Amino acid sequence: MISSTRSERSSVRGSNPGTLGREATPLIAFTLYIAIVWYYAACWRRTLRSFVFVALAFLGLVALALLHIKLRDWTDGAVYLPVLQGLLYPYALLVLVSGLAVASLPPRHDVRRCRICGYDLSGMGADQARCPECAQVDPALAPPARAAIGTKTLFTYQFGGSRPSQA
């Protein structure tokens, strides 16, 4: 009859129960990597910047795969994990395809917001420049300033003659 204690079983596994060992670190890194790619692809969707970012993320994974192959050559096979090599190529394709899908999503609906407090101004008229929430005048919402042209100059410019006298 073979019996083993809990400490012997945990030492065989290589980690204590309830803790993440060194085996989980690459999984967390790969999950964070794809989350970062998706985040920036979503922030910059339908712009050249998002597609370039996804392409650079894919090329980074290809460079990691090539580095892994070179490490095998440089260390005479001491540093080589065939499982990593087999999983890295599908993961790189997953990052590329899903990143391009997120980058191709339509842009978010542009909501007019106050640049000072962030209040939603979508229901206000285009001529209102004062925010009802913070009562500040936002220069981006103000109507364009009119040119300082005298009335005589404006009349002459528009009608090609002199202004009639008002009696």
pLDDT digits (tens, 9 = 90+) for 37-53: 999 999 998 899 999 99
Phi, psi angle pair for 55, to nearest 5°: -65, -40
Is the CB of residue 46 less than 8 Å from the CB of residue 107?
Answer: yes
Mean pLDDT of the chain, nearest integer: 76
Phi, psi angle pair for 46, to nearest 5°: 60, 30
pLDDT tens-place string over residues 69-88: 899 899 998 888 888 888 89
Residue with tokens 């005589």: 152
Give 64's contacts (C-beta < 8 A, 6+ positions apart).
Answer: 88
| Dist CA 161 CA 90 (whole Å) | 76
Question: Tell me, what's the pLDDT at 57?
Answer: 97
Question: Tell me, what's the pLDDT at 125?
Answer: 72
What's the mean pLDDT in 124-132?
75
- Confidence (pTM): 0.55
User: Alpha carbon of 36 to those of 29, 49, 92, 104: distances in Å?
Assistant: 11, 14, 14, 16
| Dist CA 157 CA 133 (whole Å) | 42
DSSP-derived letter for residue 142 is S
Decide if pLDDT at 96 tops 80: yes
* Per-residue tokens: 146: 């009119």
Lowest mean pLDDT, pick from 20-24, 34-38, 105-109, 124-128: 20-24
Question: Tell me, what's the pLDDT at 24?
Answer: 67
